[in-house]
């Protein structure tokens, strides 16, 4: 799988070709604007992997927060408002 870099201006002109490269050849296209990476076009399989990892991370964070609440306790809304001011 290769990575290519292309400006957003050029990508606009070559959009159909870029989509074909990504879908058929599994290329990853990095879009740049003024020399800075701003986005990417990736195969749908890559997106699925990213989404699964994100959900896994969110589940781990939620589990940690729940464990912390169980060990350290929680605050009421009124207590939270007092702390925040």
User: Tokens 């940690």 label which residue?
Assistant: 64
Residues 62 and 48 in one domain: yes
Give dist(CA 20, CA 10) in Å, integer: 15
**Domain of residue 28, CATH code:** 3.40.1620
Whole-structure pTM value: 0.68
Supply the pLDDT for residue 1. 63
> Mind listing the pLDDT tens digit for each residue in 43-73?
999 999 999 999 999 989 999 989 998 999 8
Number of domains within the chain: 2
In a domain, 66, yes or no: yes
In a domain, 10, yes or no: yes
């Amino acid at each position: 799988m290769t990575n290519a870099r292309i400006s957003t201006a050029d990508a606009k002109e070559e959009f159909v070709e870029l989509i074909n490269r990504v879908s058929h050849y599994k290329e990853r296209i990095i879009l740049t604007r003024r020399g800075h990476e701003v986005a990417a076009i990736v195969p749908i399989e890559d997106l699925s992997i990213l989404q699964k990892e994100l959900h896994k991370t969110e589940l781990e964070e939620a589990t940690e927060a729940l464990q912390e609440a169980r060990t350290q306790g929680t605050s009421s809304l009124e207590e939270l408002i007092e702390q925040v001011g």
